[in-house]
Chain A
Amino acid sequence: SQQGEEDPQALSIQEGENATMNCSYKTSINNLQWYRQNSGRGLVHLILIRSNEREKHSGRLRVTLDTSKKSSSLLITASRAADTASYFCATLKAAGNKLTFGGGTRVLVKP
């Protein structure tokens, strides 16, 4: 079963705008990861944030983690048409090595 819920399920923005998506989860985690998936392709690992971290940056990506609310957000700044993809959060529980994926957010960046 899915642990994570993501919202929105779909997002349509203009190139240059920022895109924000959220992920909520239910159990204690070791870390939370964000992945991108282009249509019909494999997953690309974007960023990992550990449970003791609150914010992380990587290029145009900014991820926050609030363990008290069991939620995370992914912000893509200055979006480009090439950012069009589905974005998934995945949590690694405090014990074990299985990832549990959220439902995903489909992002469309219009040129």
Chain B
Amino acid sequence: GIQVEQSPPDLILQEGANSTLRCNFSDSVNNLQWFHQNPWGQLINLFYIPSGTKQNGRLSATTVATERYSLLYISSSQTTDSGVYFCAVRGKLIFGQGTELSVKP
């Protein structure tokens, strides 16, 4: 089956720093989502982005489907950005293992 790999597995940032999270997938996809799982366990939708680029405030995402990767950019990070970021692909979502982000004040 399709493999979804996220990097880095862990990331520690100082508040105000920028970061890029990567998601690689081993086969073609027609559906890709980014989620933020907050410290309370909620899965929050960030982007539905099977291809192209989208922006929402300090966050943006780009998916290059032909090269089988997606990137999530976080600019001017805040402590509330802490948590685990997941990408997931395909209609019945197959999740990566996540990137655990910790933003320090």
Q: Do A and B come from one complex?
A: no
